[in-house]
Amino acid sequence: MRALVISDIHGNFHALEAVLAAAPAHDAVWNLGDVVGYGARPNEVVELLRGISTLDVRGNHDRVCTGLTSSQGFNPVAAEAAAWTHGTLTDSNLEWLKAMPKGPVAVGETIVCAHGSPLHEDHYILSMRDAWAPLQRMESSIAFFGHTHVQGNFSLLENDWEEERPQYAEREAAAQQRLELRAGTKHLINPGSVGQPRDMDWRAAFAIYDDMDSSVTFHRVPYDVEAAQAAIRAAKLPERLAARLQTGR
Ligand code: ZN
């Protein structure tokens, strides 16, 4: 079984299309949340995802953009984008987003999917320090998570821990890096953000989980970033949201 693992699409339809075109054949699509918010094409993203995702968990932006949570904790740019998204989504897409479950959601006995952390949907796992408690406490061997928009892996085998971010030689074309999953090891794996990467790499990010050869392959793929920026500017969303896509931060 092969799953395409995607997170933090953030209404970026151009990036999602590029990811789907580049992804190798897969049997499942696991969506880790923040489908909307920031980007200018929320309806197109939701409509495409509705047809293909086999597992969804909600993100904090999905909650705020659908009115499930107030935007009080958001910075002004995020709050403005959430209000615009709320007003732009069709009723049917709003309902679909609202119905996405809170993570973690289990896939069999070995895997869970979460937005923030498997311990709390809004926690950020940016460092080994953040990863330590969930790695110790999780019962599954793998937890996929998003929320930070940073691609990478934290793993723990007894007292041996490892933190890795893919290092790509290629910075403009598509690139990939394979991670071998070792028996007895716990893994916290972030596929990176499809629609708003923040790890200094502008390319759309995703991962492929393969249970036949016990691996996760991290991918980066170029997309039409100018078109995504033009859509943000045409929607009169804050300029910062367009500018940041170019630099991946
Ligand atoms: Zn996000």
Contact 65, 86 (CB under 8 A): yes
Residues with CB under 5 A from ligand 1 (ion): 8, 34
- Give the residues of the chain that fall short of pLDDT 50: none
Separation of CA 174 and ligand 1 centre (Å): 22
Span 194-239, pLDDT tens digits: 999 999 999 999 999 999 999 999 999 999 999 999 999 999 999 9
Distance from residue 210's CA to the centre of ligand 1 (Å): 25
pLDDT tens for residues 49-64?
A: 999 999 999 999 999 9
Length of the chain: 249
Structure tokens at 156: 């723990």
Give pLDDT, residue 26. Answer: 98
Token pair belonging to 200: 């200094």
Query: What domains are there in the chain, each with its CATH number?
Result: 2-246 (3.60.21.10)
Please give the distance, rounded to the nearest whole angstrom, from the Cα atom of residue 159 to the centre of ligand 1. Answer: 31
